[in-house]
Amino acid sequence: MVIFNYSVTLRYFGLINARPDPVYWTIFPVSIASIFIFISGAAAFSSFQNNKENFSKRYFKRGGKLLFFAAFITLFTSVFLPGGTIYFGILHFFAFTSFLVPLFIRYDKLNLFSGLLIIYSGIYLQIKEFSFPYLFWLGFIPENFSTFDYFPLLPWLGMLLLGIYSGKWIIETTAHMKFRSKLASIFLFLGKNSLTIYLIHQPLLIFLLMVSGFRTFW
């Protein structure tokens, strides 16, 4: 995620000449996002299993916190990256779905079928454009819409639901595993601090571009 976002920023500012490679610019980011959101769904199921009574309350609080950070991302990109302002990126998606997950978390096969249907519907919408902008968060892409980060509910809510559905199997499969290597500790650190890493990596790159003289923003 960090590598791809860096390359998008460098390309936007004209610091690299990137060939239109569909593997890197399309398949790579879709794969990253799919894994990220799927694992988030599985983690939500694990959290629900550990504390069912307070799950909804915790996720509602999580949603409120993420809404604040999502608003910051929109403001930041509107100032520094106006050509690709993020209106409904990955943080907006997780903020919004934090209020939806408690409604789905108790179901099993419904999440599987709903997830597949939502993904199919979202893929269909990706090839369409619409003359109205007010449903862009759902997946109805407006005409001439441009943004760096776009994760509408259709199809990405479907991937989250598939993660929730698979959570039970993942927990049962990995329950006996012990991760004590240095490499595992690195991944553990990244996993526990994924929100912080996401929030700081792009502003950090832009700051480095500024102090190095590669880019002026004022």
C-alpha dihedral over 123, 128, 131, 137, to 10 degrees?
10
Rounded Cα distance, 91 and 95, in Å: 6
Whether residue 196 lies inside any domain: the answer is: no
Whether residue 214 lies inside any domain: the answer is: no
- Which residues span the domain enclosing 29? 2-180
Q: What is the 3-state secondary structure (H, E, C) of the chain?
A: CHHHHHHHHHHHCCCCCCCCCHHHHHHHHHHHHHHHHHHHHHHHHHHHHHCCCCHHHHHHHHHHHHHHHHHHHHHHHHHHCHHHCCCECHHHHHHHHHCCHHHHCCCCHHHHHHHHHHHHHHHHHHCCCECCCCCCCCCCCECCCCCCCECCHHHHHHHHHHHHHHHHHHHHHHCCCCCCCHHHHHHHHHHHCHHHHHHHHHHHHHHHHHHHCCCCCC
Q: Tell me, what's the pLDDT at 87?
A: 95
Within 13 Å, how many C-alpha atoms sit on residue 36's CB side? 19
Number of domains present in the structure of the chain: 1
At a CB cut-off of 8 Å and minimum separation 6, what does 17 contact? none
Whether residue 199 lies inside any domain: the answer is: no
Whether residue 195 lies inside any domain: the answer is: no
Contact 81, 12 (CB under 8 A): yes
Whether residue 145 lies inside any domain: the answer is: yes
Whether residue 103 lies inside any domain: the answer is: yes
10-residue mean pLDDT series, the chain (218 residues)? 82 77 89 93 92 92 94 89 89 96 92 96 92 94 91 97 93 77 84 82 78 61
Whether residue 185 lies inside any domain: the answer is: no
Whether residue 218 lies inside any domain: the answer is: no
Contact 83, 209 (CB under 8 A): no
